[in-house]
């Protein structure tokens, strides 16, 4: 008898505290105070040889050494029973004897799935020349792509391929997975955005690509494999590494995030996708939480967005075109009809009309095909969950197809029951909007502003094995930044990773929202008026950095959308590129941030700060105006004094402006008065174990928990069934446990409540688990 477990889509969102409890409360009894080998990463305070590590593990007969990491981290991976690993972990209390820093369970990482080059200034950059009098194309720069592999036979990539490593099969052939049903294309798409040099051109078309296959069939891989890839890339001394992969764990202390910090310390520019779990805050995931890497969110390139003017409705209905959609070019007013989910028998009266469909059951391509064959002119698919989405078609559609929100679909469906509706098409051009799926920060515990930057990540055409395809995701945004870093590295070969990151952040374009666009989940916002910073000349001449209207928060977009041409030509650098003042402490009400200002031009530069808009209870203190000679730098202090009796906001963020001659540098900042309620439990996943008949879960508890548990309920009447697992006095970090089949409940579908309690507060994730017997 074999159990097959399938995680169903969460019926609700992440519910935070008692205010987010669903209609029926899931009440579980108090938890009582559970065995399969597991894999873990052991971090050391200092490097050890393999022989020293084996001696360290000698007392633990059940633990097997798997990999030793020499560059990415000081540590190694092990495999053994949870009880044995727990005994080893207990030795972290005696570091003088063992030098063990901490033990972290292995988690899973997955892929985060030519106009964009022009938007970020890539075409202009190709008109610039390096110190060797060569056009800036990335020549002489090596980019490591840690992903699903690369199709190095692709005609647009073959000339740029410079070898690689397969950390899944442990050989030197990093070809994409070709297995039918589990084939991958992701790494080839990422590599093409960076350095395609054929039918399409990447951002840095002459950069060298070294491929590291860390994600195997289906696009999945483990911490162990990704760490091995980072370790190898450091040994190979690549100039830049791109990681378009991640998980949903928002924490700064995971091994992958720390390994990227180590890569930067070794002189490598590390670029990581922030994740595709937006639009809510706290959704940025590792390795996008790495402090020293460049974490990248996704913005939109220039897109033609169809809007429907529906008779009797005052506001236009925005439709998000799907990838592979036919052109939205309807030239007349057309009726709208309800087409159910798009089955042929539901489309008997759709000829010459716009069809409204529900999302689900059929693929988008099947919906479009059925509608086209029935004579429809267009398809609008309403989401089945809250929020918007961007769909991908399996094959190009003959008619236009796009998406709307669930509430918009319900509104139209209700109207259609009582009356007929007609719609006329209007097409609006949009650019530089934050993609709805792009993960937001800040980072739990450290309050780092992440992502650092955004770049185009929607409808990005690039290489795949056997051809080309448009995809979207922060996975597509990150390689734009990696390619931009290659251009900067060619132009300024002596620049450090910190200087390259600063150049991109200092010259980024802060993005504003379209009128009426909703905000992401609030952290407790300070009311601020829209501001405008006008161009003053120099490298920003003709470019308005901050336009009228509401703008995205710093923890949503970082410094803004990259402008690589400006970054290459910048004449001043401010490091770090963003400021976090941390959290209010009763012991002090003055918070200081140190910045390094560097004049990299050939002329003296005068530097002055703008005074931010006044907020009651906040007082800024800036250095007086100063001048730097060429190649001179200065450390300065920016202070923020807070009167908590007057300042009423929980959080304050925005941009400071430093004028460097004619250049304006915008520095995002974040200050927290009260710790907002970030999720105390996140990143829950349930899957089959490494061996037949075993299963495992993992979950991240960013602040630890006095009580943790997974309670199961009957989905019909919400009756408590039992606990899948419980723990007390849980340390912060990743929890991972394995089970045998006999330890699991009877077959059926359960509503699961994954909860963590601390200081009288309970946070939880609600999802569904189905258990079937084969």
Active site residues: 147, 186, 475
Give the helix/strand (H/E) hosting 567.
helix 564-569
DSSP class of residue 148 equals S
C-alpha span between 256 and 235 (Å, rounded): 16
Owner of token pair 């669930």: 406
Of 386, 392, 376, 306, the C-alpha closest to 342 is 376
CA 105 to mean position of chain CA atoms: 21
Q: How far apart are CA 767 and CA 684, in angstroms?
A: 9
User: Distance between CA 708 and CA 493 in Å, rounded?
Assistant: 50
Give the H/E segment covering residue 134. Answer: none
**Token pair of 503 as six digits:** 């150049």
Contacts of residue 49, Cβ cutoff 8 Å, sequence gap at least 6 = none
* Among candidate residues 156, 176, 154, 180, the one with its CA nearest the CA of residue 164: 176
Q: Token pair for residue 405? A: 């929100």
- Please, is 726 exposed, middle or buried when counting C-beta atoms within 10 Å of its C-beta (0-12, 13-18, 19+)? middle
DSSP state for residue 664 in the 8-state scheme: E
CA dihedral of 757, 759, 762, 764, whole degrees rounded to 10: -60
Q: Taking the chain, what is the end-to-end CA distance rounded to the nearest angstrom?
A: 6
Torsion angles phi and psi, residue 658, rounded to 5: -110, 120
User: Would you give the DSSP letter of residue 627?
Assistant: E
User: Is 449 in contact with 578 (CB distance < 8 Å)?
Assistant: yes
């Amino acid at each position: 008898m074999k159990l097959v477990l399938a995680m169903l889509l969460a019926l609700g969102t992440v519910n935070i505290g008692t205010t987010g409890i669903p209609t029926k409360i899931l009440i579980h009894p108090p938890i009582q105070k559970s065995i399969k080998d597991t894999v873990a990463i052991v971090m050391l305070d200092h490097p050890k040889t393999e022989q020293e590590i084996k001696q360290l593990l000698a007392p633990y007969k059940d633990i097997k050494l798997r990999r030793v990491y020499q560059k990415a981290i000081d540590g190694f991976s092990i495999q053994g029973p949870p009880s044995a690993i727990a005994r080893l972990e207990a030795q972290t209390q005696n570091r003088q004897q063992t030098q063990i820093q901490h033990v972290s369970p292995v988690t899973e990482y997955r892929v985060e799935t030519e106009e964009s080059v022009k938007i970020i200034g890539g075409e202009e950059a190709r008109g610039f020349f390096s110190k060797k009098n060569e056009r800036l194309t990335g020549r002489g720069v090596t980019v490591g792509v840690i992903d699903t592999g690369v199709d190095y036979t692709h005609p647009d990539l073959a000339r740029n391929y410079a070898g690689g490593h397969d950390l899944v099969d442990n050989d030197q052939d990093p070809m994409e997975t070709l297995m039918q049903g589990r084939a991958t294309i992701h790494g080839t798409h990422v590599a093409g955005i960076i350095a395609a040099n054929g039918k399409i051109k990447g951002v840095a078309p002459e950069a060298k690509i070294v491929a590291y296959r860390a994600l195997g069939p289906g696009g999945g891989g483990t911490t162990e494999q990704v760490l091995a890839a980072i370790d190898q890339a450091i040994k190979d001394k690549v100039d830049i590494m791109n990681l378009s992969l991640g998980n949903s764990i928002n924490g700064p202390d995971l091994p992958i995030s720390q390994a990227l910090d180590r890569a930067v310390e070794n002189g490598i520019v590390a670029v990581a996708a922030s994740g595709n779990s937006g639009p809510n805050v706290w959704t940025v995931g590792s390795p996008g939480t790495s402090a020293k890497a460049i974490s990248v969110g996704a913005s939109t390139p220039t897109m033609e967005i169809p809007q429907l003017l529906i008779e009797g409705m005052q506001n236009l209905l925005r439709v998000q075109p799907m990838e592979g959609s036919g052109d939205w070019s309807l030239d007349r007013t057309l009726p709208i009809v309800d087409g159910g989910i798009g089955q042929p028998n539901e489309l008997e009266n759709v000829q010459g009309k716009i069809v409204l469909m529900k999302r689900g059951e059929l693929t988008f391509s099947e919906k479009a095909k059925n509608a086209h064959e029935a004579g429809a002119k267009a398809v609008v698919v309403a989401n089945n969950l809250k929020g918007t989405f961007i769909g991908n078609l399996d094959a190009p559609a003959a008619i236009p197809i796009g998406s709307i929100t669930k509430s918009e679909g319900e509104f139209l469906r209700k109207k259609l029951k009582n009356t007929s509706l007609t719609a006329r098409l209007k097409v609006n051009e949009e650019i530089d909007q934050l993609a709805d799926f792009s993960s937001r920060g800040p980072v739990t515990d450290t309050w780092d502003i992440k992502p650092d930057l955004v770049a185009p990540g929607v409808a990005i055409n690039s290489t795949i094995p056997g051809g080309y395809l448009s995809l979207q995701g922060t996975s597509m945004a990150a390689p734009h930044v990696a390619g931009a870093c290659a251009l900067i590295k060619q132009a300024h070969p002596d620049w450090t990773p910190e200087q390259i990151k600063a150049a991109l952040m200092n010259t980024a374009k802060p993005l504003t929202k379209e009128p009426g666009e909703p905000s992401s989940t609030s952290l407790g916002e300070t009311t601020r008026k829209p501001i405008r910073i006008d161009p003053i000349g120099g490298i920003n001449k003709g470019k308005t950095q901050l336009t009228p209207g509401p703008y995205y928060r710093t923890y949503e977009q970082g410094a803004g959308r990259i402008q690589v041409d400006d970054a290459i030509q910048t004449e001043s650098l401010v490091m770090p590129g963003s400021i976090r003042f941390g959290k209010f402490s009763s012991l002090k009400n003055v918070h200081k941030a140190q910045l390094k200002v560097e004049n990299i031009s050939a002329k003296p530069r005068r530097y002055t700060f703008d005074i931010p808009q006044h907020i009651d209870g906040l007082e800024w203190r800036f250095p007086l105006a100063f001048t730097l000679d060429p190649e001179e730098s200065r450390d300065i202090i920016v202070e923020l004094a807070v009167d908590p009796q007057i300042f009423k906001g929980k959080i304050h963020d925005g941009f400071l402006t430093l004028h460097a001659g004619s250049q304006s540098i915008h520095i995002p900042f974040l200050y927290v008065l009260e710790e907002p309620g970030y999720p105390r439990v996140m990143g829950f996943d349930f899957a089959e174990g490494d061996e037949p008949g075993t299963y495992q879960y993992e979950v991240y508890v960013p602040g630890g928990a006095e009580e943790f548990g997974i309670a199961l309920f009957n989905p019909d009447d919400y009756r408590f069934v039992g606990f899948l697992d419980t723990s007390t006095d849980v340390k912060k970090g990743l929890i991972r446990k394995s089970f045998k089949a006999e330890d699991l409940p009877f077959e059926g579908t359960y509503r699961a409540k994954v909860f963590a309690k601390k200081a009288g507060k309970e946070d939880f994730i609600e999802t569904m688990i189905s258990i079937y017997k084969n």
